[in-house]
Structure 1
Amino acid sequence: MNVTKFSDNGMAAIAVTEAADAREADRNRAKETADKLCLPFLTRKKRSLPTLFAVTGFAYLIVMHKNGTLSLHSRDERDDEKGFIYHPGLALPRIKAMMQGQDDKLMRVAGITPGDVVIDATAGLCSDAVVFSYAVGDLGRCLAFEASQPLALVVAHGLQTYQGVPDEVKNAMRRVELLHARFEDALQMMPDRSVDVVYLDPMFEQTIKRSSAMAMLKPFALPPTSESPDLFHPMRIARKKVVIKIRRHTPYVHQLKDVTIAAGSGSTTYAILG
């Protein structure tokens, strides 16, 4: 995973630091985390995050807390100490429902079966990716691509370290293979018909704007490259289906050939190709 990105003046845009009340052992663990992520480490010296942003020039800071969790902070955010901390979100109740034999609409629409290879091309918080991972099981694979480097780093750490959930959910989280990349770049490198299903949620940025619960992610999300996703490579590599999460009356859907529309929940629907 390419985890080093630089600003115009050559300074890395992201750095890792410690909690304000960190002790020596906490500081050492934060340094180890910075090394693993190939990012610079900043000694906090009890400085506030706004002060640290001001004196260092970094755009994003990842704070290593005493309990091992990471929080992601932007130079532009207002709540300087809260930040974003990974949580499996809706993946948890969805998988619990599936464990009780209930139907998951997205898994049914995508036709997911155990052993499938699935790509979540617009991963975000990986809520859908974790559910895909559970549905394909140990013999399948779920690859997820996230264009935002800081978000990908913190979510990837959360997927591998989050506790307090049933083993079935934890195992599904651990199996997700999250990579920092724009899917437009990643998919063009993949062979024809090399995966079973490609899933895209181009609504992720729109959801952030609409949802107060996800408003904290706004500083970290990248804008879409265009109003409609480029479907050439998703269609080329998918053996079974390409599934796109849309809202009713999404304009570009009517321009697609051989598309099937399936109802989701609320105003959400899915466009299915293949």
Structure 2
Amino acid sequence: MKIAVTTTRDADESLNYKAKGVSKDLNISYIKRGNFSIKETILKDGFDYLLVVERDKIVIKGEDSALFWHPNMSELKVKSIRQGNKEAIIEATKLEEGNSILDCTLGLAGDSLVFSAVVGEKGYVVGTEINKYIAYLSKCGLENYNGVNGKNIDNIKVVNESYEDYILKQGDNSFDVVYFDPMFKEPNRKSTSINSFRDFADHKGLTKDILMEALRVCAKRVVIKERQGSNDFEKLGIEKYYGGKKRGSIIYGVIEKNI
């Protein structure tokens, strides 16, 4: 994938300086924008995408797509949980204040934000993301985000690494919970943000071997997010799940640790 950093057309020196810093962080080229459209710049210079540094955010832009960090539905879920409502993701993980969780498929950190709110200041979240551009968007987004309570999010650590490599280096019972959110086999074509994300996502499925490693690393349980009617739960030996019953509903399979 060929990608470079640029800015908006009306960039001043401070924005250009920021863009050059991003290019250094990611070890990719910086190109001066000029008066060309994104599509013209991509075609002219032969890029697949451009990482555009704007005043208030960084956006990965393709010819007809745009991807940037945003808390999305996490804020609504956090508010719902604090109002005492049940959320399947927390019913499945059974997270409590002070717990730790390894989010093996961080993406844009939507689920990790929910975990962060539940485990609180005494707990922590580690999120692994194999794609360096997505990891960078999430890291920058989280650093500049004030949560539902207006406080900085400082209990989420972003790790740019495959979950397979990261898990193998962890000791037994390192985290209370290990969580996976693999890309769904049946994409939600109505979601513009998810469809923009698919080119950057890791599409390989879970294996029994990695689940055994996850069980070793967790102290309590492994949780896998999937869709009702389109998952490998039976093949992976997962019998217990939380979530909707209708086909296409989000569900969370659970494997409890037998100590």
8 Å contact 1:196–1:239 — kept in the other structure? yes
8 Å contact 1:235–1:242 — kept in the other structure? yes
| 1:224 and 2:204 aligned | yes
* Comparing 20-29 and 199-208, the one that deviates more: 199-208
Partner of 1:78: 64
- The separation in 2 between residues aligned to 1:229 and 1:59, in whole angstroms, is 34
8 Å contact 2:176–2:221 — kept in the other structure? yes
Partner of 1:179: 159
Give the superposition deviation at 1:92.
0.6
Identity of aligned residues (%): 27
Q: Which of 91, 96, 106 is equivalent to 1:113? A: 96
Partner of 1:20: 9
- The separation in 1 between residues aligned to 2:185 and 2:130, in whole angstroms, is 12
Change (3 A) 1:217 1:265: farther
| 1:268 and 2:244 aligned | no
| 1:167 and 2:149 aligned | yes
Partner of 1:3: none
In the alignment, residue 109 of structure 2 is paired with which amino acid? C
- The separation in 2 between residues aligned to 1:136 and 1:28, in whole angstroms, is 37
Change (3 A) 1:265 1:147: farther
In the alignment, residue 234 of structure 1 is paired with which amino acid? A
1:1-274 equivalences under 5 Å are: 13-67=2-56, 69-74=57-62, 77-79=63-65, 83-162=66-145, 166-167=148-149, 170-172=151-153, 174-204=154-184, 206-209=186-189, 211-212=191-192, 214-225=194-205, 230-250=210-230, 252-257=232-237, 259-264=239-244, 267-274=249-256
8 Å contact 1:209–1:218 — kept in the other structure? no
- Gaps (5+ residues) in structure 1? 1-6, 8-12
SS in 2 for 1:51: helix
- The separation in 1 between residues aligned to 2:28 and 2:14, in whole angstroms, is 19
Give the superposition deviation at 1:229.
8.2
CA RMSD of aligned residues (A): 2.6
8 Å contact 2:183–2:202 — kept in the other structure? no
8 Å contact 1:16–1:30 — kept in the other structure? yes
- Gaps (5+ residues) in structure 2? none
In the alignment, residue 122 of structure 1 is paired with which amino acid? T
Change (3 A) 1:215 1:156: same
- Normalising by the residue count of structure 2, what TM-score does the alignment of the two structures yield? 0.85
- The separation in 2 between residues aligned to 1:265 and 1:36, in whole angstroms, is 44
Cα deviation 1:130-180 (Å, max 9, x = unaligned): 1001111111110111223222221221111135x5335x534x4321222
- The separation in 2 between residues aligned to 1:175 and 1:218, in whole angstroms, is 27
- The separation in 2 between residues aligned to 1:234 and 1:151, in whole angstroms, is 23
The count of aligned residue pairs is: 254
Change (3 A) 1:49 1:258: closer
SS in 2 for 1:113: coil
- The separation in 2 between residues aligned to 1:154 and 1:178, in whole angstroms, is 10
8 Å contact 2:135–2:159 — kept in the other structure? yes
* Comparing 51-60 and 232-241, the one that deviates more: 51-60
Change (3 A) 1:207 1:159: farther
Cα deviation 1:163-205 (Å, max 9, x = unaligned): 5x5335x534x43212222212221111111111011112446
Change (3 A) 1:233 1:206: farther
In the alignment, residue 59 of structure 2 is paired with which amino acid? S
8 Å contact 2:175–2:219 — kept in the other structure? yes
Change (3 A) 1:223 1:210: farther
Change (3 A) 1:177 1:28: same
Give the superposition deviation at 1:50.
2.7
In the alignment, residue 103 of structure 1 is paired with which amino acid? K
Change (3 A) 1:206 1:222: farther
